[in-house]
Structure formats: structure tokens, C-alpha cells
Amino acid sequence: NAGVMQNPRHLVRRRGQEARLRCSPMKGHSHVYWYRQLPEEGLKFMVYLQKENIIDESGMPKERFSAEFPKEGPSILRIQQVVRGDSAAYFCASSQIPTAEAFFGQGTRLTVV
């Protein structure tokens, strides 16, 4: 049973470009969470999705950021017009039910140059 798969592992974007981060949850998991980790900091919640629905996006910046979890395919975190401050590690996690343990992917390290 494969774990949570995130790709790419490393992503470099120039300021103003778009970044697309993908997350395939563990088999049987329909709950997906996205977190951002800045250097030397903890993990900050961004968004919680179930299949085709955004349940909680209270941690998502209002502009330039969006997330989806379609019926088929991976969850996507999209950052438009990236800025230097978007440079961080973005982690995806999935769980079987909301209160169960969440298993994390290896993260995507985004660098904006």
C-alpha cells in the first residue's frame, strides 16, 4: 500500500509564474490536508478537502492560492503569480476519517527565484 505521494519533490519557479503541487492520498483515504512549513517553523494548516469538496480553507491566503480534490485524480494546490515569500515546503496529508491519524507525503519544496 503506497503512502501519500507528492510531486514534484522540488519545484523552482520565477516570480510571477504558477506553481502546481500534486498529492495522491493513500489508498482508501478520502480526506486530504495541505500544510505549509517555512524554514525553522512548524506546520501551518492551509486547507482541508474531501472528494470534490473544500471543507475548511481558513488557512489559505485569500488571493493567488487555490486547492481542489477532484473525483478522479490527485489533489492539486495551485499558487498563481508566485512571490519570494511563497518559498516553503508544502506538505500534503491524508486520513481515512477526519479524526484518525494523518499520513504525510514527503513534501514539495518550492523555491521562488
Where do we find the cell 498529492?
A: 23
Which CA distances in Å does 81 have to 13, 46, 63? 10, 18, 10
Q: Using the minimum distance from each CB to other proteins, give the nearer residue, 13 or 34.
A: 34
By CB under 8 A, is residue 1 in contact with other proteins? no
17 Cβ neighbours under 8 A, 6+ residues apart: 81, 82
Cα(27)–Cα(95) distance, integer angstroms: 10
By CB under 8 A, is residue 65 in contact with other proteins? no
- Residues 26, 105, 110, 112: which binds other proteins (CB under 8 A)? 105
Stretch that binds other proteins, among 13-21, 37-45, 67-75, 78-86 (CB under 8 A): 37-45
Q: Using the minimum distance from each CB to other proteins, give the nearer residue, 13 or 31.
A: 31
Positive or negative, the Cα torsion across 41, 15, 62, 32? negative
Q: How far is the CB of 94 from other proteins (least distance, A)?
A: 11
Q: How far is the CB of 5 from other proteins (least distance, A)?
A: 12
